[in-house]
């Protein structure tokens, strides 16, 4: 599918769903000088039936895997020391899936976020800040806020291990005047929040987002974004990511399209692995801010190695229906019934096709 045709189709979907009452993103709140602390939680629970691939038990009987799961359980501790200094600490409770550990299969504790934030509202405008510590990475944090269905599964870049949602580093965010967009970037370890730094290489990540028509009645929810991750596994062995995306937010629909390019070379003497792909999704919904909502998403990723004829290709299709419960203050709750299909071709070692049905629940407060 040609990217130009996909973008043209997406714009048509945007305009078809967009009546004249589009809403702009709410401006960031101004920090206060009163010290405060808040405790919240985010819970992902699901029941999943894996129709393909089948599995075999210890007696050699074939069965269809199905299970109740706690996908994630975050404890969010946030607050501010003054109007200039804020903080966040988020432990992540997740099932241990590694081998050879006495805790394999247990739910274990690890840090997801732990950072200090220095608010720069007085100097560079509301919403601008500098952060230091374990914090959200610029692209995943941005796209998740528009997509809103991380409780079904991460977005393409995160799910395929191309980008992480959190890393340790120092960053700066500048919010443009008049709601025209923002720039968020900085330096990270590059080894993700769940690994220690392995060498002296650092990742430079930067995301720039432009809202071209912030006052337009129908198109104020349209944003164009570019993202770059320049990193290396070791000296002279690149780990590069580039993403361009278009998103649209409206009371009746959220939608997005992003295209990515990757380069991976784990050692300077190893061949390069090149990848490219796209993700397109639409979530039509009621205008009440709660109620029924549809989810349709298509991911595509193609990878090929320099000097090797084998090419791996993956298509992921997600379709579902969600119900978002009426909001009570800052509390969000949703139920989602969905079907996911993953078609793999050309991978060595072989990767099977995947088919699964699931019921997902989100609780966040």
**Facing residues of 183 across strands?**
174, 208
The pLDDT value recorded for residue 4 is 45
Count CB-CB contacts under 10 A for residue 285. 21
The domain segmentation of the chain, as residue ranges, is 3-19+36-364
CA separation for the pair 323, 291 (Å, rounded) = 5
The one-character DSSP state at 328 is B
Phi, psi (degrees; rounded to nearest 5) at 350? -60, 140
pTM: 0.86
Q: Which residues of 8-25 are buried (b: 16+ CB within 10 A; e: fewer)?
A: eebbebbeebbeeebeee
Would you give per-residue pLDDT tens digits along the chain (365 residues)? 444 444 444 434 333 433 333 333 444 556 667 899 999 999 999 999 999 999 999 999 999 999 999 988 999 999 999 999 999 999 988 777 765 555 567 888 889 999 999 999 999 989 999 999 999 999 999 999 999 999 999 999 999 999 999 999 999 999 999 999 999 999 999 988 888 888 889 999 999 999 999 999 899 999 999 999 999 999 888 999 999 999 999 999 999 999 999 999 988 888 899 999 999 999 999 988 789 999 999 999 999 987 676 679 999 999 999 999 998 888 899 999 999 999 999 887 788 999 999 999 999 99
CA separation for the pair 296, 28 (Å, rounded) = 29
Q: In 237-290, which ranges are E strands?
A: 237-250, 253-264, 273-284
Structure tokens given for 161: 């291990």
Structure tokens given for 341: 């299909």
Structure tokens given for 331: 């509390």
Count CB-CB contacts under 10 A for residue 224. 14
Count CB-CB contacts under 10 A for residue 300. 19
Q: What's the fold here for domain 3-19+36-364?
A: Porin (2.40.160)
């Amino acid at each position: 599918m040609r990217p130009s045709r996909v973008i043209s189709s997406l714009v048509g979907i945007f305009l078809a769903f967009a009546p004249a009452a589009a809403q702009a993103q709410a401006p960031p709140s101004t920090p206060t000088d009163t010290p405060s602390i808040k405790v919240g939680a985010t819970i992902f629970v699901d029941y999943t039936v894996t129709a393909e691939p089948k599995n075999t038990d210890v007696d050699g009987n074939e069965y269809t895997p199905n299970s109740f799961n706690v996908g994630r359980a975050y404890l969010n501790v946030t607050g501010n020391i003054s109007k200039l200094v804020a903080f966040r600490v988020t432990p992540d409770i997740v099932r241990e899936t590694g081998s050879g550990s006495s805790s394999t299969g247990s739910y274990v504790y690890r840090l997801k976020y732990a950072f200090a934030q220095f608010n720069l509202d007085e100097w560079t405008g509301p919403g601008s800040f500098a952060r230091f510590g374990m914090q959200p990475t610029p692209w995943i944090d941005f796209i998740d806020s528009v997509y809103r269905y991380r409780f079904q599964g991460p977005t393409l870049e995160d799910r395929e291990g191309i980008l992480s949602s959190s890393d340790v580093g120092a960053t700066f965010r500048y919010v443009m005047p008049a709601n025209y967009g923002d720039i968020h970037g900085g330096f990270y370890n590059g080894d993700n929040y769940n690994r220690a730094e392995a060498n002296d290489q650092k990742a430079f990540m930067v995301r720039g987002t432009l809202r071209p028509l912030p006052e337009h009645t129908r198109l104020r929810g349209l944003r164009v974004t570019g993202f770059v991750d320049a990193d290396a596994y070791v000296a002279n062995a690149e780990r590069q990511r580039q993403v361009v995306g278009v998103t649209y937010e409206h009371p009746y629909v959220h939608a997005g399209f992003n295209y990515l390019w990757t380069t991976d070379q784990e050692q300077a003497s190893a061949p390069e692995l090149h990848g490219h792909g796209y993700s397109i999704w639409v979530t039509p919904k009621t205008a009440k801010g709660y109620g029924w909502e549809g989810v349709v998403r298509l991911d595509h990723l193609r990878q090929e190695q320099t000097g090797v004829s084998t090419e791996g290709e993956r298509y992921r299709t997600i379709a579902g229906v969600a119900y978002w419960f009426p909001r009570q203050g800052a509390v969000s709750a949703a139920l989602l019934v969905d079907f996911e299909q993953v078609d793999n071709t050309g991978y060595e070692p072989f990767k099977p096709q995947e088919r699964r049905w699931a019921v997902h629940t989100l609780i966040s407060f």
